[in-house]
Amino acid sequence: MTPLGIEEIQSILGLLDVRRLEMSLVFDDELFEVQEGPLVGNLLADLHTGSPGMGRVGLCTVGALRTDTPPACSIGVKLQVFHAGSNEYREAEILSMQTRPTGVHYYVHYTDFNKRLDEWVTLDKLDLTKEVEWPKPPEPPAPPVSSSHRKKDSISKNSKASRPQKHDGDDGHKSDSMDVDDPTPTDDTKLQEPANFSKEKEIEKLRTSGSMTQSAHEISRVRNLSRLQIGLYELEPWYFSPYPPELTSSPILHICEFCLSYFGCPTRFLRHRQKCDLFHPPGNEIYRDQAVSFFEIDGRRQRTWCRNLCLLSKCFLDHKTLYYDVDPFLFYCMCVRDDRGFHLVGYFSKEKESADGYNVACILTLPQYQRTGYGKLLIAFSYELSKREGKLGSPEKPLSDLGLLSYRAYWQDTIVDILLEQKGEVTIDELANMSAMTTNDVIHTLQTLGMIRYYKGQHVICLTDAILAQKEKLKERQRIKGKRVLDPSCLQWKPPVFTAATRTWNW
């Protein structure tokens, strides 16, 4: 018989379901006596090591999930959660917990799903009848190194001249591949046709690819805003955005659709709208047709407006990490017009001087205008600017999942249209020059579509029957819904020239 104190037995009851554990409890002078068994023995060992249940799979109780402090910590627990979108239970990880007047709420991230699907759920959405996975305990810190050992290490390093070794395949530059599973080929690699390529599988892979953020600290961040109101639209943000903490507790964050100022109080927002005299982005209008207008804004001249734009875009872009250093960037905003002013549809930013030749640093179409052709229009405008500059352009990597889908669709339409219009042979360099795309993007697109074939000792570009059939379906859909196109004659723009002082911060 093993005597246990009250605190220890409460920890046991918080980690295991007593109804499923065969043990006898006897109360005697504030001591519980537990008849040891296999489960109890393992649990007692965990109690004495200070990590009860951590890193193990087992049953869980409601009391264990109601605390966010050890030993029964709910943060990091993986369990089955009811997902309303698919109407089924899916594995999810608890990232945060809040106690509200309506009860305890848990912020969960669904495994193999993008972060924008993370949500707050109540306790009744959690399935506690199945086993849960407790988080692993943190690794113990490394023992401190004595001063004598440090002195010996420094002497040994100074006595022998060493040179940093170069890893295989590391050339000291940032990788320019589109994504990990589908790297962009170089001139030295042999062009091969992808086997069993399926657009549906590719979309599914992008949908479940998860966060594009490389920082573990950023991945663990919880969405801090509930709702956004922009003009006539009320939106639900997808990701964390570093708005002031005092505004995150507001049920709705009100954003002025013209100056992009933000308010937590609706009274202050209405007072601002009566005084705001801005009805278009604060820049030069460089393009106007019957449908849309484009404005060019210098981040150095309009810092406040551009910073507000970055804060807004961070709500819908997980991989965006730049909010305040807007001086080295130009912002190109697309707007639609009505009698009330110019309403922001989307934008893209580009560096004033890009060493890697990128023509887009960040691109976004606001959710209320997505799936209406505006995203492809933004991409087409960025390449139209590259044609005016006489350069080949490419978007900065990595792209988000929706951005990658939009770019692949644009690249495919552009290349197929050029091949259908051209008579005779055309090379990859000619395709790049006519489309203002880089050769790597052209090769990537041709390989994705399976349009590169090996014939009589050389690689040739061919239009397959599947590509032609898909193009006909697209034309039929565009005849019904219409197609948004740019008119290059409406672009009134010359490539700006910047000095070294205007490309960076200048207080």
- Listed in sequence order, the residues at least 6 apart from 28 whose beta carbon sits closer than 8 Å to its beta carbon are none
Among the listed residues 403, 428, 407, the one whose alpha carbon sits nearest the alpha carbon of residue 418: 428
Per the CB < 8 A criterion, the answer to whether 84 and 92 are in contact is: no
Rg (CA), the chain: 29
Where is 442: in which H helix or E strand? helix 439-449
From 200, 218, 396, 476, the catalytic residue: 396
Per the CB < 8 A criterion, the answer to whether 35 and 21 are in contact is: no
Query: Look-up: residue for tokens 């495994």?
Result: 111
Question: For the chain, what percentages of helix, strand and coil (3-state, to nearest 5) are there?
Answer: 35, 20, 45
Cis, bond preceding 71 (omega within 30 deg of 0): yes
Q: Record the tokens describing residue 401, joined without a space.
A: 């999942």
CA max distance for the chain: 97
Among the listed residues 266, 362, 357, the one whose alpha carbon sits nearest the alpha carbon of residue 311: 362
3 state SS for 359-393? EECEEEECHHHCCCCHHHHHHHHHHHHHHHHCCCE
Q: Record the tokens describing residue 130, joined without a space.
A: 């199945």
Residue 8 a catalytic site member:
no
**Chain center to CA of 227:** 19
**Where in the sequence numbering do the catalytic residues fall?**
396
